């Protein structure tokens, strides 16, 4: 095995004994990026100098015996996380020259532990999309098949793990942006419960839905990363004051006696037969491990996509009002007056999908339409939340596909936004309900594209989620397959 292929826990074991230095591991990752980045385009910014400095500092720390599980580990981050002194764009032209003066809380937490920052990863512009095709910085390709999308919006994060260009990554998930790309690239991805992780310094898309989470090579790495980023942050009032368990401690507790719900509304007609087959096999695996299955209903599932696209766009229209060319970001330099400057800067700075969403959101919030759209959507959101509360009265976990089909082709849905929006049908309800969900590798299509299994946990039930994911991983080999790139 090459150093760039190792998981966090495997590399940590080698760093600890001194068999390998962080400088060597980092060099291996940077060489790997050089070798494959042309084919994948996972990165917006690569930071080799910063990385080598971080690695040398980590090696000093290791030599001094001040090591932690993340010390010396090469990490790449979605370009939505503010990184002090390193350009952060959210894949938009409007932030194309923005260099933040501070780190997001999750970045600061990782840096304190001594990680090595490799670079910033591609995504859909402002995290609006399911395919990483809306980035101002170009399309990221799926390492399993370059004609296909890697998923989105955290497509760079998932592609970079599948192409082995970083040991681990972080993404964000507003309607599926961690779980869907993880599924399409054969990685592990976890969207924590709303409030579990601080969003301070994370460029906001839809503030009542956004959460930060890991995209990793395996479940153990996912547990390590969640433990590192979770917890209350005085700088984010939506983060919750609950203790952070050591998620790695309970991984091996098994699933015997666990009750898993299968929601009728997720096993529907349009489900790709190969995805359905992977789900059936996963259910059989879990049964063999002693889990019990119960059919459940989440009756308001049909309304989730419409509800999401009203709430998310309304919040986005408000969050994106700050990009006006005045204090930071792109500014049109030929404008004749203030209004002209605002209009031209925003017109030239935002891409088509972002503009579409600002317009939908502004419309939904405007007087006369607010009650009919936004308020109504909030009420339906409550019904969707109640569906989950009722379900978790009966079961410990819910099992579903992550997506109705494996990764679609690049360009397949760009001219039909509604088709793109509908592809998130299985991930969006989890964000509306505010609970946690995870994607784990569960098979491959006949074309060789990965298929993901979604596990949904009750609020703050990440330990159960990870434990069930680990049991599956220990009894399957899907996570061991590697994209040939
Ligand atoms: N695809 C969904 C959207 O476009 C979700 C994106 C996300 O989770 N950031 O809004």
| Closest by Cα among 72, 53, 62 to 17 | 62
For residue 378, the surrounding DSSP H or E stretch is helix 376-394
Residue 36 lies in a domain: yes
> Are 235 and 316 in the same domain?
no
Burial of residue 23, with CB atoms counted within 10 A of its CB: 0-12 exposed, 13-18 middle, 19 or more buried: middle
| Cβ atoms of residues 395 and 139 within 8 Å | no
Q: What angle do CA 227, 76, 93 make, to 5 degrees?
A: 120
> Are 319 and 229 in the same domain?
no
Q: What angle do CA 218, 37, 446 make, to 5 degrees?
A: 55
For residue 399, the surrounding DSSP H or E stretch is strand 397-401
Among the listed residues 21, 22, 78, 198, the single catalytic one is: 78
What are the φ and ψ backbone dihedral angles of 169, each rounded to 5 degrees? -145, 165
Helix (H, G, I), strand (E, B) or coil at 9: helix
The reply to whether ligand 1 has any atom less than 6 angstroms from the CB of 130 is: yes
The reply to whether ligand 1 has any atom less than 6 angstroms from the CB of 403 is: no
Residue 104 lies in a domain: yes
- Tell me how far apart the alpha carbons of residues 285 and 252 are, in angstroms, rounded to a whole number: 16
Q: Would you call 78 a catalytic residue per the annotation?
A: yes
DSSP letter, residue 431: H
> Are 116 and 193 in the same domain?
yes
> Are 146 and 216 in the same domain?
yes
> Are 204 and 77 in the same domain?
yes
Q: Would you call 177 a catalytic residue per the annotation?
A: yes
Q: To test the ligand 1 pocket, which listed residue (92, 133, 152, 182) has its Cβ within 8 A of the most ligand atoms?
A: 152
Residue 291 lies in a domain: no
The reply to whether ligand 1 has any atom less than 6 angstroms from the CB of 424 is: yes
- Tell me how far apart the alpha carbons of residues 289 and 439 are, in angstroms, rounded to a whole number: 19
pTM: 0.98
Of the three residues 378, 395, 419, the one that is the final residue of a domain is 378
| pLDDT tens, N- to C-terminus, the chain (485 residues) | 999 999 999 999 999 999 999 999 999 999 999 999 999 999 999 999 999 999 999 999 999 999 999 999 999 999 999 999 999 999 999 999 999 999 999 999 999 999 999 999 999 999 999 999 999 999 999 999 999 999 999 999 999 999 999 999 999 999 999 999 999 999 999 999 999 999 999 999 999 999 999 999 999 999 999 999 999 999 999 999 999 999 999 999 999 999 999 999 999 888 999 999 999 999 999 999 999 999 999 999 999 999 999 999 999 999 999 999 998 899 999 999 999 999 999 999 999 999 999 999 999 999 899 999 999 999 999 999 999 999 999 999 999 999 999 999 999 999 999 889 988 999 999 999 999 999 999 999 999 999 999 999 999 999 999 999 999 999 999 999 999 99
> Are 20 and 126 in the same domain?
yes
Residue 83 lies in a domain: yes
Range of the domain at 307: 303-378
| Ligand 1 centre distance from Cα of residue 127 (Å) | 6
| Cβ atoms of residues 80 and 177 within 8 Å | no
Residue 322 lies in a domain: yes
> Are 46 and 145 in the same domain?
yes
Helix (H, G, I), strand (E, B) or coil at 263: strand
Q: Would you call 39 a catalytic residue per the annotation?
A: no
Structure-token pair, residue 174: 């507003």
Torsion of CA 272, 274, 278, 284, to 10 degrees: 100
DSSP letter, residue 230: B
Residue 89 lies in a domain: yes
């Amino acid at each position: 095995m090459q150093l760039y292929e190792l998981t966090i826990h495997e590399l940590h074991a080698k760093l600890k004994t001194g068999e390998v230095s962080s400088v060597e591991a980092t060099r291996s990752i940077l060489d790997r990026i050089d070798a494959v980045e042309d084919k994948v385009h996972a990165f917006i910014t690569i930071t080799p100098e910063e990385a080598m400095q971080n690695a040398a500092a980590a090696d000093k720390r290791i030599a001094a015996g001040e090591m932690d599980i993340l010390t010396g580990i090469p990490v790449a981050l979605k370009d939505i996380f503010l990184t002090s002194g390193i350009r952060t764009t959210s894949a938009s032209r409007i932030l194309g020259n923005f260099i933040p003066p501070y780190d997001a809380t999750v970045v600061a937490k990782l840096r304190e532990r001594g990680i090595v920052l490799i670079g910033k990863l591609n995504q859909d512009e402002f995290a609006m999309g399911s395919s990483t095709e809306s980035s101002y910085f170009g399309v990221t390709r799926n390492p399993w098949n370059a004609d296909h999308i890697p998923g989105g919006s955290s497509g760079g994060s998932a592609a970079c793990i599948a192409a082995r260009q970083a040991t681990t990554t972080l993404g964000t998930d507003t309607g599926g942006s961690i779980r869907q790309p993880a599924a399409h690239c054969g990685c592990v991805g976890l969207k924590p419960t709303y409030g579990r992780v601080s969003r301070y310094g994370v460029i906001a898309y839809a503030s009542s839905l956004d959460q930060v989470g890991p995209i990793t090579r395996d479940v153990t790495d996912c547990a390590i990363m969640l433990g590192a980023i979770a917890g209350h942050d005085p700088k984010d009032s939506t983060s919750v004051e609950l203790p952070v368990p050591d998620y790695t401690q309970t991984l091996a507790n098994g699933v015997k006696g666990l009750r898993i719900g299968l929601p009728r509304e997720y096993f529907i007609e349009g489900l790709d037969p190969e995805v359905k087959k992977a789900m059936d096999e996963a259910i059989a695996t879990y049964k063999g491990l002693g889990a019990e299955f119960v059919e459940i209903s989440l009756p308001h599932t049909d309304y989730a996509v419409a509800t999401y696209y009203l709430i998310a766009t309304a919040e986005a229209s408000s969050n994106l009002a700050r990009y006006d060319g005045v204090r930071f970001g792109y500014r049109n330099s030929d404008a004749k007056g203030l209004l002209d400057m605002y209009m031209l800067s925003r017109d030239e700075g935002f891409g088509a999908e972002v503009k579409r969403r600002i317009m939908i959101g502004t419309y939904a919030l405007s007087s006369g339409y607010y009650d009919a759209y936004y308020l109504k959507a909030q009420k339906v959101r409550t019904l969707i939340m109640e569906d989950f509360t009722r379900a978790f009265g009966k079961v410990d976990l819910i099992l579903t596909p992550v997506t109705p089909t494996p990764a679609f082709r690049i360009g397949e849905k760009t001219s039909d936004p509604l088709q793109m929006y509908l592809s998130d049908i299985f991930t969006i309800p989890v964000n509306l309900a505010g609970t946690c969900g995870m994607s784990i590798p569960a098979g491959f299509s006949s074309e060789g594209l990965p298929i993901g299994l979604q596990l949904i946990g009750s609020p703050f039930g990440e330990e159960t989620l990870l434990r069930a994911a680990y049991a599956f991983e220990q009894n399957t080999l899907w996570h061991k397959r590697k994209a040939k790139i």
